[in-house]
């Protein structure tokens, strides 16, 4: 092989450079940035579906609830663990997952999705702001 | 070659003639029900539409149709009751209090007789109609013009209850419905309403900038078996009665059968579900 002395070190440098993100991640000591959404502060364990399904499909379910309640007038309560909840983000989900900033936002920010739920729906922190001024 | 061209022109001419005359033929041969605009019962309405009153007969009574009766006799001389009604609605629905005709958001409010019932003469009207304001809200019409013009079906007539509902998720803020509504019952959020809400009701969302809102006949409260907030606010004088207009045994129907009631702008044919005793 001609120019063995430059080609082989060059190749090694190239491979190292291309795989930099992989081995940097593997040896890095910095804390993982994968979000850890806060579990319900009230200690509730059961949700309306298993966690994996909720993680993947909660947005679909919220849309279905929205259409049930607003379009079809079907406001039948959902029962989880013997407790009844009215269908709705504010009425059901956020009764347990009360901290939007620590629960919803943790993943949404990581995944860079910006749902507009809370333009209208109220969070605990939004409710608290009005109590102070009142 | 020449012969073929001649044939082609003949066929083309005949086809064009058939195409042009087809709509006329369809129009002439179709039944009147198909030709009239989707009222469903064209024959009955055809006659009814020329009558001056809003409801062309009792022909459309099927299913539930929620309505309201406002007995103004019990509210005369009590402007504080009108305010109480508005305040109850404002609190329950997180309605912002914004000053100015353009920006204000109204679900239920009061106006002078001549504005509420412009079709009824107010010439030499009694002192009582002159001096009192009248409660007004969305009429939840049986033939709602707002629903007709909504391009996204954000506002629609709920077939189960007859209520004209709003789905704020779908509203694109075009304000066609505000043009369509002859009662001014709809308000547009020109700005973020949250800073103008005095107190939050945690059971109801707020709205965002750029959507239209109006009375929803307290759908969320009725789901819990409660009465609309305005009905509850003046419960002790019994000024507002709420119920199914199509149920002959309902309280509202009993009163409608007994008393003379009027509706707002009946000649427009919107068939309001809000009735007044004045």
- Give the model confidence (pLDDT) of B226-239 as tens digits: 999 999 999 999 99
Pick from B86, B270, B276, B70: which is nearest to B182 by CA?
A: B270
With bands split at pLDDT 50, 70 and 90, how would you rate the model's confidence at B36? Answer: very low
Q: Are residues B107 and B32 in the same domain?
A: no
- The pLDDT value recorded for residue B166 is 93
Q: Can you name the residues that pair with A80 across neighbouring β-strands?
A: A83
Contact A90 B169 (CB under 8 A): no
Three-state secondary structure call for residue A22: helix
Whether B59 is covered by a domain: the verdict is no
Q: Are residues B83 and B36 in the same domain?
A: no
Q: Are residues B90 and B30 in the same domain?
A: no
What would the pLDDT profile of B77-106 be if each residue is shown by its tens digit? 999 999 999 999 999 999 999 998 889 999
Contact B203 A126 (CB under 8 A): no
Chain B residues in contact with A71 (beta carbon < 8 A): 156, 167
Helices (H) and strands (E) in chain B, counts: 11, 9
Contact of A132 with chain B, judged by CB distance below 8 Å, is answered with no
Q: Are residues B17 and B126 in the same domain?
A: no
Whether A40 is covered by a domain: the verdict is no
DSSP B83-105: HHHHHHHHHHTT-----STTT--
What CATH code is carried by the domain that includes residue B132? 3.30.70.20
Average pLDDT over residues B258-270: 94
Query: In whole angstroms, how far apart are CA B54 and each of B123, B201, B269, B273, B275?
Result: 23, 37, 5, 11, 12
Q: Are residues B142 and B14 in the same domain?
A: no
Kindly report the nearest CA distance between residue A117 and chain B, in angstroms.
9
Whether B240 is covered by a domain: the verdict is yes
Contact of A134 with chain B, judged by CB distance below 8 Å, is answered with yes
Q: Are residues B20 and B150 in the same domain?
A: no
Pick A122's closest partner by Cβ from B156, B160, B202.
Answer: B202
Q: Has residue B45 got a pLDDT over 50?
A: no
Give me the domain span that covers residue A107: 51-115
Q: Has residue B249 got a pLDDT over 70?
A: yes
For residues B243 and B260, give the distance between their C-alpha atoms in angstroms, rounded to a whole number. Answer: 17
Closest residue in chain B to residue A127, using alpha carbons only: B200
Contact A70 B167 (CB under 8 A): yes
Q: Are residues B28 and B135 in the same domain?
A: no
Whether B53 is covered by a domain: the verdict is no
Q: Using a CB cutoff of 8 Å and minimum separation of 24, what contacts does B106-110 make?
A: B106/B185, B106/B187, B107/B137, B107/B138, B107/B187, B107/B213, B107/B214, B107/B215, B108/B135, B108/B136, B108/B137, B108/B215, B108/B230, B109/B135, B109/B136, B109/B137, B110/B79, B110/B82, B110/B86, B110/B134, B110/B135, B110/B136
Give me the domain span that covers residue B103: 66-277
What's CA B70's distance to the chain center, in Å?
16
Contact of A86 with chain B, judged by CB distance below 8 Å, is answered with yes
Q: Are residues B24 and B156 in the same domain?
A: no
What would the pLDDT profile of B108-135 be if each residue is shown by its tens digit? 999 999 999 999 887 888 999 889 999 9
How many of the other CB atoms lie within 10 Å of CB of A103? 20
Whether A39 is covered by a domain: the verdict is no
- Work out how many domains chain B is built from and give that number: 2
Q: Are residues B136 and B273 in the same domain?
A: yes
For residues B188 and B212, give the distance between their C-alpha atoms in angstroms, rounded to a whole number. Answer: 4
Q: Are residues B135 and B266 in the same domain?
A: yes
What's CA B74's distance to the chain center, in Å?
25
Q: Are residues B37 and B152 in the same domain?
A: no
Kindly report the nearest CA distance between residue A132 and chain B, in angstroms.
10
Determine what percent of chain A is predicted with pLDDT higher than 70. 96
- The pLDDT value recorded for residue B35 is 45
End-to-end CA distance of chain B: 85
Chain B residues in contact with A75 (beta carbon < 8 A): 219-220, 223
Whether A103 is covered by a domain: the verdict is yes
Q: Are residues B182 and B252 in the same domain?
A: yes
Q: How many residues does chain A have?
A: 134
Whether B56 is covered by a domain: the verdict is no
Pick from B51, B76, B50, B208: which is nearest to B129 by CA?
A: B76
- Work out how many domains chain A is built from and give that number: 1
Total beta-carbon pairs less than 8 A apart between chain A and chain B: 44
Q: Can you name the residues that pair with B109 across neighbouring β-strands?
A: B136
Whether A80 is covered by a domain: the verdict is yes
Kindly report the nearest CA distance between residue B144 and chain A, in angstroms.
17
Kindly report the nearest CA distance between residue B92 and chain A, in angstroms.
14
Average pLDDT over residues B154-165: 93
């Amino acid at each position: 092989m001609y120019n063995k002395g430059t080609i082989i070190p060059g190749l090694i440098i190239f491979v190292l450079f291309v795989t930099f993100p992989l081995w940097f991640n593997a040896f890095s000591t910095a804390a993982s940035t994968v979000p850890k959404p806060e579990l319900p502060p009230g200690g509730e364990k059961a949700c309306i579906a298993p966690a994996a399904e909720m993680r993947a499909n909660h947005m679909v379910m919220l849309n279905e609830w929205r259409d049930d309640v607003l379009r079809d007038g079907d406001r039948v309560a959902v029962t989880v663990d013997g407790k009844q909840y009215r269908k709705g983000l504010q009425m059901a989900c956020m009764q347990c997952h009360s901290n939007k900033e620590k629960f919803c936002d943790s993943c949404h920010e990581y995944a860079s999705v910006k749902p507009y739920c809370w333009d209208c729906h109220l969070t605990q922190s939004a409710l608290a702001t009005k109590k102070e001024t009142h | 070659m020449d012969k073929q061209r001649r044939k082609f022109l003949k066929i083309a001419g005949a086809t064009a003639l058939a195409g042009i005359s087809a709509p006329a033929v369809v129009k002439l041969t179709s039944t009147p029900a198909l030709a009239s605009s989707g009222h469903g019962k064209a024959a009955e309405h055809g006659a009814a539409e020329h009558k001056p009153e809003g409801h062309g007969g009792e022909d459309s009574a099927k299913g539930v149709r929620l309505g309201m009766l406002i007995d103004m006799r019990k509210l005369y001389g009590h402007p504080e009751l009108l305010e109480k009604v508005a305040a109850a609605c404002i609190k329950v629905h997180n309605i912002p209090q914004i000053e100015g005709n353009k920006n204000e958001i109204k679900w239920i409010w009061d106006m002078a007789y001549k504005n509420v019932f412009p079709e009824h003469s107010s010439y030499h009207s009694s002192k009582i109609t002159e001096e009192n304001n009248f409660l007004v809200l969305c009429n939840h019409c049986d033939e709602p013009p707002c629903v007709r013009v909504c391009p996204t079906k954000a506002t629609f007539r709920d077939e189960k209850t007859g209520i004209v509902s709003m789905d704020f998720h779908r509203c694109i803020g075009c304000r066609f419905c505000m043009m369509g509504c002859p009662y001014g019952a709809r308000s547009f959020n020109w700005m973020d309403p949250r800073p103008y809400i005095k107190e939050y009701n945690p059971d109801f969302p707020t709205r965002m900038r750029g959507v239209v809102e109006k009375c929803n006949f307290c759908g969320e409260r009725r789901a819990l078996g409660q009465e609309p907030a305005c009905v509850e606010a003046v419960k002790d004088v019994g000024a507002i009665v709420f119920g199914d207009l199509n149920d002959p045994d309902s309280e509202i129907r009993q009163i409608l059968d007994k008393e003379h009631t009027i509706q707002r702008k009946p000649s427009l044919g919107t068939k309001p579900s809000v009735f007044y005793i004045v």
